[in-house]
Structure 1
Amino acid sequence: MNPADILSKPLELRNGSVIPNRFAKSAMSETLGTIDNRVTKDLVTLYRTWAEGGVGLSITGNVMVDKCHIGEPQNVVLDDDRDIELLKAWAEAGKAGGSQIWMQLNHPGKQSPKMLNKDPVSPSAIPFRKELRGMFATPRALTGQEIEDIVQRFARSAAIAEKAGFDGVQIHGAHGYLVSQFLSPHHNQRTDEWGGSAEKRMRFVLEVYRAIRGATKPDFCVGIKLNSADFQRGGFTEEESLAVIDVLSAEGIDLVEISGGNYENPAMAKGAEKGKVKSEIKQSTLAREAYFLEFAEKVRERVAVPLMVTGGFRIGEGMASAVESGATDLVGLARPLAVEPDLPNRILAGEFFVSAVRPIKTGVRMIDNMALMEVSWYTRQLARMGRGKKPRTHDRGMLSLLEVLGVMASRGVRTRFRAGE
C-alpha cells in the first residue's frame, strides 16, 4: 500500500464540488479573534499555512452566530459583514494551492462560561454536573421565538461566509454545544415541538440545515460535525446518531464528520497510538487507528453520504488504510496539524509519517489528566503559526503550563474589563 497514491485522490461531493485530496483539517478553536470577537490577520496567516502544507479541506474553528453567546474569549462572531474584506482574505488564504475552506458555525448554548455569559441558554434548564457548576451557570430554557431566531442566525452567517468566498459551512452538532444539546435527551427535556421524541429533538438541526440551504446557492457546501454518541448516561446514543445521519443524508447534506463526547465526557480529547517506529506498528493498529471508524462503518451500511472521521489518526499508513477500506472518505486531523502543518505534503511526497503529537507532561498528575491543559497548549501552537512562527512539536513541561495559565488569565481579565465588571 502506498499512502500517497490513496490519499492524493480527489473526492467529489454530492453537489459536484471537488476536494483535491483526502486530508481534512478538522475544526480547532483558534481563539484568534479580537477581544470584541472580530476577524484578525492572524487567521489569514494561519490558514494559508495549512493550505500551503497540502491539506485538501480546512474547516475553521467554531465561528459563533450570536455575539451574546460565545464559548471562549476571542471567538470570532459572524453576525454581520462589517469585516468582509478580512473575511475575503481569510477565505482566499485557505484556498491557496487549490484547497477548500469551510467555516464551522456554532452556538455554545449552555457551554458558555460564567465569565462570558451570565444568562446561558439551552433547550432545557439542565445544569452541568457538580464539578463544572463553578465554571458554567445553570441555563434557562429557550423560548420558541428565541429558537427560531437562532435558526435564522445560522442562515445569515452562512450567507455572509458564502459572500466572503468560503466554499461551504459546517454545522457544529457535536461536543455538547447547542445543536448537540437539542439532540440529547439528557439536555433536551422539552415537551413541545422542539423536544420529547427523538424526531422532535432532531427538528432543530433540520431547521438549521434547511435555513442555510435556503440562504445559499446550490453549489455551496453544507456539512455537519456530529457525535457518534455523547458517552453520557441518558444522552445521545449511537442509534439516535445513525437516525439523524439517515435524515440529513436524505436531505442532501454534503459531508458528515464523525466525532464524539462533550465537556463532561470529552471522548474527542483521548490519547492515541504515539511514538512507535515502523517495525512496532501492527496491522490491526493501522486498520483501526482512529477512534470512530467502527461507527463510520455502521453509517456506510445505511447511507452513501461522504464521511470524515476525526480523532486519533497519527500514522500515514493508518490514514491510508482507513480511506482504502471505505470506512471514511476524508481523514480528519486536528492536533497533528497543530504541530506539523505540512504533514499532508510530506505524506504525499512518500515520507513514512508518524505524528509528533505526545501527551502533555507537567509532572502534576491532576493537571496532566485534564483535557483543558492539552487543548490550551495546542491552541498556543495555532497562535504561533498565526504570527508567522513555526509551532513547537513538543511541550516544555511546567513551562508550558505557566505559559498557558498566563494567557488564560490575561484573556479573562481583558474579557471582564470589556464587559464592565
Structure 2
Amino acid sequence: MFTKYTLANFELENRSVRSATATGTCDIATGIPEQKFYDLYESLAKGHPGLIIQEHAFVFFRGHAGHKQLGIHSDDMIQYHKKANDLMRAANSKVKICCQLAHAGPNGGAADKIDVNTAKSCELKEVVSQFQKAAVRAKKAGYDCIQIHSAHTYLLSQSISNYYNKRQDKYKAADFKLLKDVFKAVKKAGLPV
C-alpha cells in the first residue's frame, strides 16, 4: 500500500488512490468550481494519496449531468482546473492527478440531451470531438492522466450495452464504436488514458 507504483508512464508515491466522487461544489450553470472545491482537493492532497482522480467533468453542455458538476467544456475552464492542480501540488509535490471526462447523455440536464438510439452519426462524431478537446484542455491544465467515464448509464456506458443501445448501424452495442472512437481521440491529446 505504501510502496511506489508505476502506472502508465509515471510513478505514484504509493498505491493509495482517491477515486472520483461528485462533490457538488461547482456552479450549476457554468461548471466553475466554488471555493469549497479548491479547499476539498487541497485537503485531499495533504493526505498524500499516490493518485487523485478528480470528479467527473462534463465535456460539453449537452453532456452536463444537471447538478453542480465540474466542467471542462471550454478553454476558459483551463484556468480553474490549473488552479486546483497547482493547489494540490503545493500541498503534495508528489501527487499525481487524473482528469475524469464525462458525458451524461440521456441522464443529463440539457433540454437537447443526446440519446444513443436517436442521435445522428454527426452528433456522435461531435461527442468524440468534444472529448478530444476536453482532453487537450486537461493537458494544458497540468493533469497527469485522463480517465474516461463509462459508467452509471451515461452516454458511453449506454453505447456498449445491449439493454440500452438498440442501434443496428456501425454504433451498435457489440462494436463499442463510440467508446473506441472516444478513447482514440482522447489519446491524441498526449496523456495516458
TM-score by length of 1: 0.43
1:56 Cα deviation (Å)?
A: 1.1
Structural mapping, 1:316-355, within 5 Å: none
Alpha-carbon contact 2:156-2:178 (below 8 Å) kept: yes
What is the alpha-carbon distance in structure 2 between the residues aligned to residue 212 and residue 117 of structure 1? 23
Q: In structure 1, what is the equivalent of residue 177 of structure 2?
A: 203
**1 or 2 for the larger relative contact order (CA 8 Å, sep ≥6)?**
2
Alignment partner of 2:149: what SS?
A: strand
What is the alpha-carbon distance in structure 1 between the residues aligned to residue 66 and residue 3 of structure 2? 37
1:178 Cα deviation (Å)?
A: 0.9
Q: Deviations over 1:330-384 (max 9, x none)?
A: xxxxxxxxxxxxxxxxxxxxxxxxxxxxxxxxxxxxxxxxxxxxxxxxxxxxxxx
Asked whether 1:191 is paired with 2:162, we answer no
What is the alpha-carbon distance in structure 2 between the residues aligned to residue 170 and residue 39 of structure 1? 19
Asked whether 1:9 is paired with 2:9, we answer no
Give 1:149's aligned amino acid.
Answer: E
1:108 Cα deviation (Å)?
A: 0.6
**Mean alpha-carbon deviation: is it higher for 171-180 or for 82-91?**
82-91
Alpha-carbon contact 2:57-2:70 (below 8 Å) kept: yes
Alignment partner of 2:180: what SS?
A: helix
Asked whether 1:179 is paired with 2:156, we answer yes
Alpha-carbon contact 2:71-2:77 (below 8 Å) kept: no
Distance 1:70 1:119, change over 3 A: same
1:82 Cα deviation (Å)?
A: 1.2
Q: In structure 2, what is the equivalent of residue 138 of structure 1?
A: none
Structure with larger Rg: 1
Give 1:73's aligned amino acid.
Answer: H
Asked whether 1:161 is paired with 2:163, we answer no
Alpha-carbon contact 1:70-1:108 (below 8 Å) kept: yes
Alpha-carbon contact 1:88-1:165 (below 8 Å) kept: yes
Alignment partner of 2:156: what SS?
A: helix
Structural mapping, 1:393-408, within 5 Å: none
Asked whether 1:102 is paired with 2:98, we answer yes
What is the alpha-carbon distance in structure 2 between the residues aligned to residue 203 and residue 169 of structure 1? 19
What is the alpha-carbon distance in structure 1 between the residues aligned to residue 143 and residue 34 of structure 2? 16
Q: In structure 1, what is the equivalent of residue 120 of structure 2?
A: 143
Asked whether 1:221 is paired with 2:168, we answer no
Structural mapping, 1:6-85, within 5 Å: 7-14=1-8, 16-36=9-29, 37-85=31-79
What is the alpha-carbon distance in structure 2 between the residues aligned to residue 89 and residue 55 of structure 1? 19
* RMSD (Å) for aligned C-alpha atoms: 1.5
1:72 Cα deviation (Å)?
A: 3.0
What is the alpha-carbon distance in structure 2 between the residues aligned to residue 103 and residue 156 of structure 1? 13
List alignment gaps of at least 5 residues for structure 1.
Answer: 1-6, 125-140, 223-421
The share of aligned pairs that are identical, in percent, is 26
Distance 1:204 1:166, change over 3 A: same
1:68 Cα deviation (Å)?
A: 2.9
Q: In structure 2, what is the equivalent of residue 327 of structure 1?
A: none
What is the alpha-carbon distance in structure 1 between the residues aligned to residue 144 and residue 110 of structure 2? 32
Give 2:6's aligned amino acid.
Answer: E
Q: In structure 1, what is the equivalent of residue 116 of structure 2?
A: 123
Aligned length: 190
List alignment gaps of at least 5 residues for structure 2.
Answer: none
Q: In structure 2, what is the equivalent of residue 277 of structure 1?
A: none
Alpha-carbon contact 1:102-1:167 (below 8 Å) kept: yes
1:145 Cα deviation (Å)?
A: 0.2
What is the alpha-carbon distance in structure 2 between the residues aligned to residue 26 and residue 65 of structure 1? 19
1:55 Cα deviation (Å)?
A: 1.2
Give 1:212's aligned amino acid.
Answer: V
